[in-house]
Amino acid sequence: SVPSLASPDDFLQCLREKIPSELVYTQSSSSFAGVLVSSIRSPRFFTNTTVRPLCVVTPTDASHVQAAVLCGRTQGVRLRVRSGGHDYEGLSYRSARPEVFGVVDLANLRAVSVNQSETTAWVDSGATIGELYYTIAKDNSQLAFPAGLCPTIGVGGHFSGGAIGMMMRKYGLAVDNVLDAKLVNANGDLLDRAGMGEDLFWAIRGGGGGSFGIVLSWKVQLVQVPPTVTMFNIAKTIDQGAADIVTRWQDVGPSLPNDLTIRVIVQGQQALFQALYLGTCSSLVATMGDQFPELTMTSADCQSMTWLQSVAFISFWNRDTPVEALLSRTTSLSTYTKNKSDYVQSAISKGVWKDIFSWFTMNGAGLIILEPHGGFIGSVPTDATPYPHRSMLYNVQYIVFWQGDGGAAANTWLGNFYDFMGQYVSKNPRQAYVNYRDLDIGQNVVVDDVTTFDGGKVWGEQYFASNFQRLASVKAAVDPTNYFRNEQSIPPLAQGR
């Protein structure tokens, strides 16, 4: 329900007094829908019945963000923050329940500033990871950063959830490489790492977006890559032994040398093995012959290029796409999707893999992506950051696509397949990745205008396992009135728990 003290008109008036009016788009503005939709990825959350914000504020300065928080606090209107808008449940710009709220859209705050001698960078939350990668590597092909694959993802939400990608076996998650951050808290204060303290700095590095404040920028440690890296894409059909090879991959993928990441996309009756190797073709062929001969990889499979080109190649599936395409923020609203996730702790048997492949004869538009852990990511202690899935073999992401009214069939298939997989994946709790947000695993319960710890535990322990309670303690310390909240924000731990 609408918070009883909310004063939307006074909130908008307050914004107008403190923020240049051209940066505040209210529902009556002719540009409102265009600004709102600008980074929406899924047409599921841009319909006539979607609960939309009162306004979208597009700050060009930290002081505008602070002013928006202060106006929201005084007038009882919550804020949701959007960086790249890629949240799988749209929580950065829509509410699943009736609610009066404003959106702070950080797309204008997107500077990336690289310090070559320190090999660090400050990156604003509104930058995309494509912009980050391009700016780091355009003048220095041996500098890089480990984060996700899709170049239009926003840094703000992505880092808030940890950020897994093709170099995590070598360098860990994005948040394993964050050195400092600037955040506006629920009192409107602008704090750096020293100002926020180590507990809050711990929580924002993977505890999920939208809970602790608005992170404006991040200082990151850049990493070294060779001038030339090598990639391959090798597809194996079920008739070519895909079930055997995926079964074997479960042991090999997480234990290969850290320089080599092989992820797997299973769709239809085929498994596609996609690799990034931080080294040369000849050394990759030797490693593959030694450790994973079942894939029958040869030098003809090698695609050698710079690391930045490899980022573009894996994003656009085309070697001819120029690296400048990584700077495009254009997204399309044509396809509906629903995503879920799991972690696998012990390898699934070959017989079960045959059953898994048979699920893909029922739905041509479903797929799973397997992202191997092990290596550096597996060597980091479980409580070093909120991301608790360090000792898992690999992450499974389920994706189903549909157009028009195909949603019911697609979602039924996905739900049934996810139920089937329950026997073979991590248990007690069944783990899930917060950046692959899924409201089906649980939503906050609000009692006396505060989200409850016990309600949050249902989904929170799946995302954060034993780190959930510490996140809830940090929340109680930094935002005890629960100002920053959504359907899956961290609830404040009641005193005495």
Please report how close the Cβ of residue 157 comes to ligand FDA at its closest, in angstroms.
2
Complex with ligand FDA: residue 247 or 462, whichever CB lies closer: 462
Complex with ligand FDA: residue 259 or 438, whichever CB lies closer: 438
Please report how close the Cβ of residue 109 comes to ligand FDA at its closest, in angstroms.
9
Please report how close the Cβ of residue 355 comes to ligand FDA at its closest, in angstroms.
27
Would you state the torsion angle of the CA atoms of residues 159, 161, 167, 168, taken in this order, to the nearest 10 degrees? 130
| Under 8 Å between Cβ of 144 and 136 | yes
Complex with ligand FDA: residue 160 or 482, whichever CB lies closer: 160
Please report how close the Cβ of residue 223 comes to ligand FDA at its closest, in angstroms.
16
Residue 214, beta-bridge partner list: 184
Per-residue burial over 171-201, b if 16 or more Cβ lie within 10 Å, else e, is: bbbbbbbbeebbbbbbebebbebeebeeebb
Complex with ligand FDA: residue 130 or 157, whichever CB lies closer: 157
CA atoms within 13 A on the CB side of 332: 5
Complex with ligand FDA: residue 183 or 285, whichever CB lies closer: 183
Please report how close the Cβ of residue 425 comes to ligand FDA at its closest, in angstroms.
18
Please report how close the Cβ of residue 198 comes to ligand FDA at its closest, in angstroms.
18
Complex with ligand FDA: residue 53 or 84, whichever CB lies closer: 84
Please report how close the Cβ of residue 57 comes to ligand FDA at its closest, in angstroms.
13
Name the residue number minimizing CB distance to ligand FDA: 209
Complex with ligand FDA: residue 73 or 354, whichever CB lies closer: 73
* Distance from C-alpha of 286 to C-alpha of 299, rounded to nearest angstrom: 10
Please report how close the Cβ of residue 494 comes to ligand FDA at its closest, in angstroms.
23
What are the residues binding ligand FDA (CB under 6 A)?
A: 41, 80-88, 91-92, 106, 125, 148-150, 153-154, 156-158, 160-161, 163-165, 209-210, 214-215, 435, 486
Please report how close the Cβ of residue 205 comes to ligand FDA at its closest, in angstroms.
12
Complex with ligand FDA: residue 274 or 309, whichever CB lies closer: 274
Complex with ligand FDA: residue 83 or 426, whichever CB lies closer: 83
